[in-house]
Structure 1
Amino acid sequence: MEANKSKATGRWKLFLVVLICASPMIASYLTYFVIKPQSRTNYGELVDPRKHPMPSLGSASLDGKPTELDAYKGKWIMLQADSGDCPDSCRTKLFQQRQLRLTTGKEMDRIERVWLVTDDKPVDTVLLREFDGTRVLRADPAKLKQWLPVEQGAGIADHVYMIDPLGNLMMRFPKNPDPNRMKKDISKLLRASSIG
């Protein structure tokens, strides 16, 4: 009788050990097949770079010197396109880009901020001083519209885009984006990338 009790106790111990060892696998199956995790964890929309290769934009610096966007290859590019008179929405994006770059701390040198001016209107020098460090280029708006994808009902001036250090358009943030959620995406991109 003592032997039967000992065998039963041994079997329960063995069953508990097997259950403990198998529990992570059981939990992962339940999570994947029953709970179904969301497939998207990023805030910005990922863009297929094969559909949007970086074109020659015929861009130039404000003093008229031809400067293509690929001059900044090797770094992550936070890009916006807007009119030279820069309405409030444009200023908000410039401010957010500056702050987002600053929040990356020691990683901020990996990011360039670029503003593509889409018309011939003069850019306010006070604005240029306020957002010093932002690269400002004039670009052909027709070429930009062909290259930059937009949300339905939006225009290229409504978005901020991310370009990887190899020059691939990667991500588009929504109109009136949440800077905290943008920061998380940018931090993930910088952590995941060993280039730039």
Structure 2
Amino acid sequence: MIASYFTYYVIKPEGRTNYGALIDPRTYPIPAMASTLLDGKAARLEDYKGKWIMLKVGPSDCPQACQDQLFAMRQLRTMQGKEADRIERVWLITDNNPLETVLLRVNDGTRMLRAPQDAVAKWLPVEQGGQASDHIYLIDPLGNLMMRFPKDADPSKVKKDLAKVLKASAIG
């Protein structure tokens, strides 16, 4: 018993099983942002509370890396099988430029909200020297940011993280 106490509290196990970076959810609740749908109607990210939210942030021009992330989000949701309905995909668009029709069609089912860049930048934590558009974020059903996946994330590892949180959570 003493050895286990010593090992756990002094040596501290270093193994981790998550791929994405865990974020203290109490630190990053969804802020009140003046966001709108693409047609200009008021909408809030908070409207999707109650489900797990995979969040992508970026401008409307959406270069190839952005398109790859949106595709990955679509595929990751589909890979969850019967649990897929517990996940919403949201793209926070940080400018007011029009979207290409192709982007709208390819990403059908992704919730698209326009949000002010400064509000998004203050809220989302990024890696040193990175930017929010490099990552996919995960928000829990209570509306707290809880995980950030790395730039150019490996979809199979992200899938495992999503499966773990969906299995462990009874909400959402």
Equivalent-residue separation in structure 2 for 1:49 and 1:32 (angstroms): 24
Report SS of the residue matched to 1:171: strand
Which position in structure 1 is the counterpart of 2:22?
Answer: 46
Shift of 1:39: 3.6
- State the superposition RMSD in angstroms: 2.0
User: Is 1:107 matched up with 2:98?
Assistant: no
1:165 has 2:137 as partner = no
- Partner Cα distance (1:59, 1:90) in 2: 20
Say whether residues 1:143 and 2:119 are aligned partners. yes
Q: Which amino acid aligns with 1:176?
A: D
| Whole-angstrom distance in 2 between the partners of 1:195 and 1:32 | 30
The 3-state SS of whatever aligns with 1:50 is coil
Inter-partner Cα distance in structure 2 for 1:113 and 1:181 = 18
For 1:10-29, what aligned pairs fall within 5 Å after superposition? none
Per the alignment, residue 41 of structure 2 pairs with 65
Q: 1:176 corresponds to which residue?
A: 152
The answer to whether structure 1 residue 87 and structure 2 residue 87 are counterparts is no
For 1:62 and 1:68, how far apart are their aligned partners in 2?
Answer: 12
CA distance in 2 between partners of 1:130 and 1:93 (Å)? 12
Amino acid in structure 2 at the alignment position of 1:97: M
Comparing 86-95 with 50-59, which one deviates more in the overlay? 50-59
Aligned residue pairs total 170
Match of 1:125 among 95, 101, 111: 101
- The SS at the match of 1:144 is helix
Moved more, 119-128 or 74-83: 119-128
Q: Which amino acid aligns with 2:25?
A: P
Paired position in structure 1 for 2:131: 155
Distance in 1 (alpha carbons) for counterparts of 2:76 and 2:113: 21
Aligned to 1:145, the other structure's residue is in SS state helix
TM-score after normalising by structure 2 = 0.92
> How far did residue 52 of structure 1 move?
1.3
Q: Find the residue that maps to 1:121 and give its secondary structure.
A: coil
Q: Over alpha carbons, which structure has the higher Rg?
A: 1
TM-score by structure 1 length? 0.81
Whole-angstrom CA distance in 1 between matches of 2:102 and 2:117: 24
Larger proportion of helix: 1
Q: What per-residue deviation string (whole Å, max 9, x for no partner) do you get for residues 9-66 of structure 1?
A: xxxxxxxxxxxxxxxx9xx89x969x97534210001111222121011110000001
Larger RCO (CA within 8 A; separation ≥ 6): 2
Alignment partners' CA distance in 2, 1:40 and 1:142: 33
Distance 1:141 1:38 in 2: 36
Alignment gaps of 5+ in structure 2: none
